[in-house]
Amino acid sequence: MAIADESVSAGHWTEKQYQSALTDTLPRRVLLVFTDQNTIRGFVVAAEIAREWELENIAVRNSGRRQGTADQLMEALLKELQSSRAECLHLEVRESNTPARTLYEKW
């Protein structure tokens, strides 16, 4: 939760929502964590509904910003979804969230 708290553009979930993402079997989820020198730098969470996926949350620690962490998370997520035969990935992003829009437009 500390990483999401640092990230103004991340979805600010409650502790219960994070626990649910880690423990619930439905919907199926992928949660990837980016580490560097044994420190968590960021994470991404996506959920599946009928072979369509939704990017639920992505957050990068302030110290990992502008270093390609979010790009690496997106690349890893897309590879994971490809291997599970995902048909598409949906996301919602505020128009005012320029850093997120810039990231997503790359993919």
* pLDDT at residue 48, rounded to an integer: 93
* pLDDT at residue 46, rounded to an integer: 95
* pLDDT at residue 8, rounded to an integer: 61
- pLDDT tens figures, 64-88: 778 889 899 999 999 999 998 888 9
- Conformation bin of residue 66: beta by default, left when phi > 0, alpha when psi is -120 to 50: left
State the average pLDDT over residues 75-104: 88
Model confidence band, residue 43 (pLDDT cutoffs 50, 70, 90): very high
* pLDDT at residue 4, rounded to an integer: 65
- The model carries a pTM of 0.80
* pLDDT at residue 49, rounded to an integer: 87
Give the angle 67-68-73 at the CA atoms, nearest 5°: 135
